[in-house]
Structure 1
């Protein structure tokens, strides 16, 4: 098989096929007496496996998998696959925790004497959530919540959006997440304009994770076919 034969099947350029070989994604090709590359069905399966791995694992991880296989380190390749699946599982668990936190969010009832212009002060909010005021101040320093200050008293004043952020942070902290892991999510809630838009984003996120999982299955099938061809 010529480079162009492999390239045409996948809509690639012949240079891309040569680059894949140079990168170790394909096994080394034979050469004609005049120096032209000669590929075999083994190379075709290798290219098919790599292109099938990319959607689920990403280009860099798929490259590492194929490089390991082609240097004879199949166990290393399988370990890389396992680690990639573990990352997908971690992403699923994170998504589950975020969705659970959003589901548990509910308006905090106002209590007489603890509001300022319809907002909540740090003490009443902390008591209602079973937190210490020092915890809320720590979360403020970490950027999880940004209460404004009463210009007359200097007290922290938590509006509805701040209360939402505190409750979301509280749920995620109870789920074992670190402040540095929670901060980007809170920022996303703010940029989305609230929880409702984020719920739509999370549905899209779950769809992407499912698509990634299916892609991993397809990649595994083609990788197995390549391994069986390479090491029957």
Structure 2
């Protein structure tokens, strides 16, 4: 079978990259030691990532055993399932801000690689949807951190990425400054789906950090109203 143009170009890239990786091996973004092959994270730091043992299946809150948390039992959230790759603890509490506030895309790349490992065995959605920023915040920041995680995650898991399906139609206050009730009010009506858009039946929302879940819940409600049957959340880290 003849080699395609894309395969030829990839071979060129691989030939260039191979000696560079030998001369300049990956360095761990956490401790500075030599990284694992193709990853800016060393073996020790990778093994020490704060992986949750048990979590609520509906909100990903860390739990002492596999069970639905009291809050989700009392009032089921609009998400069918929520999965967090890690607890929001060291070094996630360093790496995620480096991506979000300091444009450290190497941190985003290594976190997406780790998310792909953690989520590879989950039920496969028909599409990944990064939680979008409002256009004003996007202009200010210059990039969408959820998209920077979702793009390599979709590529690694061979899943479609629908970055333009969900819109953030209203500017909101920074969630970090609000309590749980104020977060929910702040996000009310903040997302929409264009009328007439063809929607997958099963999607997974991708975001960097889940705190109270208000952002993901608001996005899920907009998708549910538009006709999506199953909505999961895949986040990099969950705040306890």
Give the TM bin, normalised by the shorter chain. Answer: under 0.3
Question: Higher relative contact order by CA 8 Å / sep ≥ 6: 1 or 2?
Answer: 1
Instruction: Give the TM-score normalised by structure 2.
Output: 0.21
Instruction: Give the TM-score normalised by structure 1.
Output: 0.21
**Would you tell me which structure has more helix in proportion to its own residues?**
1
Whichever of the two has the greater Rg, that structure is 1
